[in-house]
Amino acid sequence: MNNSAMSSTETDIELLIKNMLSPECISNPYPVYKQLRSHAPVNGLLDYPPGTVPGVDTPYPAWVVTRYEDVDYVLRNPEIFSSEDPMQANSSAPSLMLVNHDRPRHTALRNLAKMAFTPKRIHDDIVDRLRTDINKIVDRKLNAEMDFMVDVAGVIPALVMTYLMGLPPEDYKLLVRWANAFMVSSDFTPEERQACNVELFNYFVAAVGKRYADIEAGNKVSDDLMTAFINAEYEGDTLSKEEVVLFCITLVVAGAETTTYFLGNLMGVMLEDAEWFSKLKSDRSLIRPFMEECLRRDGPPQRLFRLVLQDCEISGQAIKAGDWIAFFMAAANHDENVFPEPEKFIIGRKNIAKHITFGRGIHHCLGAPLARVEAEIMLNVILDKCEGVNGELANSKRQSGGLLAYGFATLPLQLIAKRGS
């Protein structure tokens, strides 16, 4: 390669990184990831971790890591790549529990939290209630023109959060708004974003404070996650009141928005190819593989950040202690060396369990079983009640506010009721 070709390639890559936060790239980042995967990590992405406010907080330049092998390496080596987030810590955002902790505190916190997300607890506390509520949500909109993101996908995960923490069900709307503002993937002004962070924090300070007071007064309290956090004890360790507040906030921001996008993306695949509806309706055993392939190809969480603690190499590129990296699970899930024809929706891929939408290693997503249950119940209710879905993907719009998540901002469609229902 001659010098001019080299410099033109370097310029192209720099431009590519610079344009990653453009609305075009955010709404369809996969072609950009494909180009980036042909390079070792490249430095210079100026992006915003959850909770930080564009226009107010100053991003650090991050290395962009996109190959499956490299992303996997970062996930598996938490002693080299710390989850501490100095940018978020310096912002007005409440810091996230677990997500932003390293060992050994992370292990203690995870041991307290994982009991809340066991398949048994999800099954016993959520499944029946959620099925009843999703039936009502779908019934209200049968045959009507709707925006699936507002009327269905946006409602389910936030409702589940209200069940989990014993909040008034009508507060789901507040949770949706705050989660959207926190996750930097909607069109909010910096002032609105900051105001939402404050409202979210104050809401849970009040709710958790009331619960503590009820417990101290000997009043009967509901056996939910908030109470479980307050009473949680693991090897003599307990959570402080502020940690309980932060745990509740973490659940809302980590669980509400990403799952909403996942539910929307599932319906997006059905609009892409109408045959999926009849296939899934006639063979429900295809639902799980359908969901997993959707998590791989269209998984909402795109990337996370890590702080580098020791000098290391990623794909031959030297990375120094103190550097900041952005690693893209979504780009890794499209790595053609691991998933051939990655843009195609192929259910039953032999290695589908290797997708890293929920992460891997000590920071794997504790809420993954919850997201899967929400999706599975939603699909089953829709398949039970409907004979098809009408809609054109051309009328939908992907969110373009932030690179954190891939999903629809609007998804107009119609659920066609089964004849005779």
Partner 1 sequence: MEVIVRDRSGEVAEYEVPDLSALFTQLSDEMKIDALCGGCCSCATCHVYTDEGDAKYLSDCDDSERDVLDGLLHVRSGSRLLCQLSLKEELKTLKITIAQSE
Interface positions with partner 1 (CB under 8 A):
76, 107, 110-111, 114-115, 118-121, 123, 350-351, 353-354, 358, 360-362, 364, 366, 368-369
Closest contact distance (angstroms) between CB of 255 and partner 1 is 17
Shortest Cβ 90–partner 1 spacing (Å) = 30
Which strands make up the sheet holding 42-46, listed edge to edge? Answer: 42-46, 61-65, 324-328, 303-308, 81-82
The nearest distance, CB 215 to partner 1, in angstroms, is 23
Shortest distance, CB of residue 368 to partner 1, whole angstroms? 7
Report the C-alpha gap between 22 and 401 in whole angstroms. Answer: 9
Residue 279 burial (CB < 10 Å; 0-12/13-18/19+)? middle
CB of 364 to partner 1, least distance (A): 5
How far is residue 107 from each of residues 9, 252, 358, measured CA to CA in Å? 44, 21, 18
Q: How far is the C-alpha of 377 from the C-alpha of 392, rounded, in Å?
A: 24
> What strands lie across the sheet with 412-417, from one edge to the other?
146-147, 412-417, 386-390
CB closer to partner 1 out of 376 and 387 = 376
Q: What is the DSSP string of 226-246?
A: HHHHHH-EETTEE--HHHHHH
3-state SS, residue 45: strand
Distance from the Cα of residue 180 to its chain's centroid: 11
Max CA distance (Å), the chain: 78
164 or 270: CB nearest partner 1:
164
Nearer to partner 1, 98 or 146 (CB): 98
Complex with partner 1: residue 216 or 233, whichever CB lies closer: 233
User: Which of 338/381 has CB closer to partner 1?
Assistant: 338
Q: Give the nearest distance from C-beta 263 to partner 1 in angstroms.
A: 20
Identity of the residue, 22 or 351, whose beta carbon is nearer to partner 1 in the bound complex: 351
